[in-house]
Amino acid sequence: MDKHVNIGWLQGRAWRAAARGHEVIADSTHESGGEDLGMTPGELMVTAMGMCVAIDLSYYAERHPGIDLSQVSIDLNWEDAPDKPSRIGMIRGTITLPGGLSEAERAALARVAGSCKIRRTLEQGVDVQVAIAWRDPAPSLS
């Protein structure tokens, strides 16, 4: 699988990200001077973690019929760090599971929810390397 995302400017503060034929738009809120055409980058990051947990719960439910995923909800809140550099400092979540689960199922689902790749990455940190490349001006045709 190609692990690549391309991001290009859309308009104003809005940007479009594309990966494997799928697209998502990120923008600033109206209060921050954007047009609110999509989630903010912070919302997308927190959403990525929540969706990772949700998809992992789906894998478990596929192997264990009888778990009603329509009764599952994941609520996430976050706060910015109080110090510099600007970043998200804390994410809190509540995963509401369906009733009627055995203690073993509850324990298994809690393990699954705690093991998603994005959550582990955020907890452990990640090596981020970004290079800057410059487009050379187009050659003169004169």
Is this model's pTM higher than 0.85 or not? yes
For residues 21 and 76, state if they share a domain: no
For residues 74 and 87, state if they share a domain: yes
CATH number of the domain that residue 92 is part of:
3.30.300.20
Q: What is the pLDDT of residue 142?
A: 66
* Domain that includes residue 86, residue range: 40-124
Instruction: Show pLDDT as tens, one digit a residue, over the chain (142 residues).
Output: 779 999 999 999 999 999 999 999 999 999 999 999 999 999 999 999 999 999 999 999 999 988 889 999 999 999 999 999 999 999 999 999 988 999 999 999 999 999 999 999 999 999 999 999 988 877 777 6
Taking alpha carbons only, the member of 101, 82, 102 closest to residue 90 is 82
Q: What is the pLDDT of residue 139?
A: 73
For residues 27 and 54, state if they share a domain: no
For residues 54 and 34, state if they share a domain: no
Rounded Cα distance between 120 and 126, Å, is 10
For residues 100 and 54, state if they share a domain: yes
For residues 5 and 33, state if they share a domain: yes
Q: What is the DSSP string of 29-89?
A: -GGGTS---SB-HHHHHHHHHHHHHHHHHHHHHHHSTT--GGG-EEEEEEEE-SSSSP-EE
For residues 68 and 15, state if they share a domain: no
Residue 109: its H or E element: helix 103-113
For residues 34 and 45, state if they share a domain: no
